Amino acid sequence: MVSTYTLGMAVLAVGVIVLCLLLIIPPSSVRLAFRSFERRTGTPTAAMVVASAFALALLTLGIAGSNAGGGEFDVVDGLFSVGGALGPLGVAVGLAGHTMRSRLGAADDCTTGNPDTGVVAVDGSLTPIDGTFEIPDTDGDVLSCAYALQKDRGLTSSRPVWVTVAEGERTRPFAVDDGSGELRVDEDAVSIHSGELSRRSYSISLPEDEPVPDDVAAFLSAAGVDSPEPPRADHRLRLRPLAPGNTATVVGEYDRVTKPSDAFWGVSDGDGPAYLFPGELDSVRSRLAKRSRWLTGVSALLTLVGVGYVATLFLP
C-alpha cells in the first residue's frame, strides 16, 4: 500500500523534473514547440497536453509504487515507467497520422486538368501564381518556407541546447500542375506540411556578437520576427523551403477558390482538413501508412507495458 507521504514525495520528484526542464526550455518555447509540432505532424495541441498529463501521472505512480514498502526506484523501474510515459505521446501522433490517412483514403485520385467534385487527391509540380519570395542562402526563389529561429541556452560548452524563440511559415499562392492543368493552393486553404515526409532543410548559423546577415534580417522582418541584432548568444535559423518545380501532393475539397472570372479552380478544407505534402501521391500514401501503423502500434505497446508494470507495483 502506497502511503500519502510516498505519493506526495513522488509528486514532488516529478514536479522538480518538470521545473528543471522549464528552466532549460522556457514556457514560451514550449508553447511554440507544441504549435510547431501540430503543424508538422497534424497532432492537435490539446491531444499532446492530455497525453503529457497522462505520461506525468504514470511516471508519478511508477516512482510512488517502486518506493512503497521500503523499495527504491531503480533502473528497471525507470525504464518501464519512462517507456510507458512516452507511449501516450506516440499514440497521439500516430492517431493524428491516421486522420491524414483517412482523408487521403477518402479522396478520389484525379488529374489537375479534370478534377472530380468532392474530396480529391492530386500530385504535380509546383508553379507560381502570384510570384515568389527570396530566402537566405539559396540561388532561387521559393513558394513556401517553414522557418524556426533558435537560440543556444549555453548550458554546456560541448554541445548546444537549442530552443525555439520564433517559428512559422511564409507562403505565396501557387498551383499544382501535372501537365493536364493547374489546381490552385492558397495558404489559408490547406495545412501545408512542408516538414512532413521530407528532409529538405538547412540551417544558417548566427554566431554570438556577430552582425546578422542582411538577407537573414530581411527574411525575419518580412515574417514579422525581430532580428537578434547583434545576438547575445549563438542563434541559428532553420529553413525548410518548397520551390517551383518541386513535386507535391494536395488533398482537399475541390472548389472554385477565386472569383468566377478567374481561370483557377483549387482545393479548400470544405467539410474536413486539407493537406499539402511534398512528394508524389503514391509515396505520400505509402509513407503515411507505414509511419502511422508502426508509431501507433509500438507506442500503444509501450503504454500497455508501462501501465501493466506500474499496476503490479501496487498489487499486494
67-117, pLDDT tens digit by residue? 766 566 677 777 777 788 888 888 877 777 777 777 777 777 777 666 666
Answer yes or no: pTM beyond 0.75: no
> What does the pLDDT read at residue 69?
61
In a domain, 235, yes or no: yes
In a domain, 126, yes or no: yes
- With 80 as the cut, is the pLDDT of residue 166 above it? yes
Which range (64-78, 149-163, 252-266, 274-288) has the least confidence? 252-266
pLDDT confidence bin for 271, thresholds 50/70/90: low
Radius of gyration from C-alpha coordinates of the chain: 23
In a domain, 89, yes or no: yes
Let me know whether 159 and 300 are in one domain: no
β-strand pairing of 235-242 with 144-152: antiparallel
In a domain, 153, yes or no: yes
Let me know whether 136 and 212 are in one domain: yes
* Contact between residue 146 and residue 41 where contact means Cβ atoms under 8 Å apart: no
115-143, pLDDT tens digit by residue? 666 778 888 899 998 888 888 887 778 88
Residue 171: closest CA among 194, 201, 150 = 194
Q: Which domain holds residue 244?
A: 112-279
Number of domains composing the chain: 2
Rounded CA-CA distance 187/182 in Å is: 16
Let me know whether 61 and 120 are in one domain: no
Query: How many percent of the chain have pLDDT more than 70?
Result: 82
Residue 40: closest CA among 243, 182, 199, 151 = 199
Question: What are the residue ranges of helices labelled H in the chain?
Answer: 4-24, 27-41, 45-67, 75-106, 214-222, 281-313
Cβ neighbors of 117 (< 8 A, separation 6 or more) are 254
In a domain, 41, yes or no: yes
Let me know whether 297 and 154 are in one domain: no
183-221, pLDDT tens digit by residue? 888 777 677 765 554 546 788 998 888 888 888 888 889
Rounded CA-CA distance 128/35 in Å is: 27
Q: At what angle do helices 45-67 and 75-106 cross, to 10 degrees?
A: 160
Mean pLDDT, the chain, rounded, equals 78
Let me know whether 41 and 158 are in one domain: no
> What does the pLDDT read at residue 197?
42
pLDDT confidence bin for 250, thresholds 50/70/90: confident
Let me know whether 56 and 194 are in one domain: no
**Which phi and psi (to 5°) does residue 33 adopt?**
-65, -40
Place of cell 475541390: 254
- With 60 as the cut, is the pLDDT of residue 32 above it? yes
**Letter string b/e over residues 33-64, b meaning 16 or more CB atoms within 10 A of that residue's CB:** bbebbbbebbbbeebbeebbebbbebbbbbbb
- With 60 as the cut, is the pLDDT of residue 262 above it? no
